[in-house]
A and B are shown apart, each in its own frame.
Chain A
Amino acid sequence: SQQGEEDPQALSIQEGENATMNCSYKTSINNLQWYRQNSGRGLVHLILIRSNEREKHSGRLRVTLDTSKKSSSLLITASRAADTASYFCATEANFGNEKLTFGTGTRLTIIP
């Protein structure tokens, strides 16, 4: 399976703290994306980082990519209760198969 893995599987932190989630993948990629999913809803795209980029920011989100280690991290700073959700990384392999491979996800709970 080409599916990536995310670490940790579940994370609970106090509101205001920073949350870090990690993603590892198996194949060479064109890009890596992070998505958020609230319970029982569809996925929402958060950020896309290309294979030639090492770091990207969007508001309170910071994503890093290390292609030599085939890994990425998502940092959410100053967490809020509304950040409670599942977070998935997804990769597009560089052999052009037109699809994303999703990781196993991290369930983040922010405690008010």
Chain B
Amino acid sequence: DAMVIQNPRYQVTQFGKPVTLSCSQTLNHNVMYWYQQKSSQAPKLLFHYYDKDFNNEADTPDNFQSRRPNTSFCFLDIRSPGLGDAAMYLCATSGTAGETQYFGPGTRLLVL
């Protein structure tokens, strides 16, 4: 089945230790998004790729970076995680920007 896969589902890291979250898709969609979602809040868009074009949200901290080496994969790098970065990180894809988004199950990040 075509889907969006996120690994790992749970990630524990130490304060300041770099961490990478991964997302892959079999939908062959052009657009990939990374969201941060904290408890009982709406998903907050961090950035998105339209093909290889990277679009950063104005309020996304410099601590967060992303890579999209090919259509299928997208990575979220947190260079120096702080306690405030503990959250659920959601990856989503869309065939066309602004249309239906297909979400992965999320990676829950815990920072100790």
Contact = CB atoms under 8 A, between A and B. Distances in A.
Interface of A: 3, 30-31, 33, 35, 40-45, 48, 88, 90, 92, 96, 98-100, 102-105, 107
Contact of B101 (A3, A30, A96, A100): A100
A84 B97 CA distance: 29
Interface string B70-94: 0000000000000000001010100
A99 B47 CA distance: 9
Contacts of B102: 45
Interface string B29-65: 0010100000011110100101000010000000000
11 contacts: A30-B98, A33-B100, A42-B106, A43-B43, A44-B103, A88-B43, A98-B31, A99-B48, A102-B43, A103-B42, A105-B42
A-B pairs, top 10 by smallest CB distance, nearest first, are A98-B97, A42-B103, A92-B98, A102-B42, A43-B103, A42-B105, A45-B100, A42-B106, A102-B43, A42-B104
Given A43-B90, A92-B99, 7 more contacts: A42-B90, A43-B101, A88-B43, A92-B98, A96-B97, A99-B33, A105-B41
Contacts of A42: 4, 6, 90, 92, 103-106
Given A43-B90, A44-B103, A45-B102, A99 B97 contact: yes
Contacts, number: 62
B68 interface: no
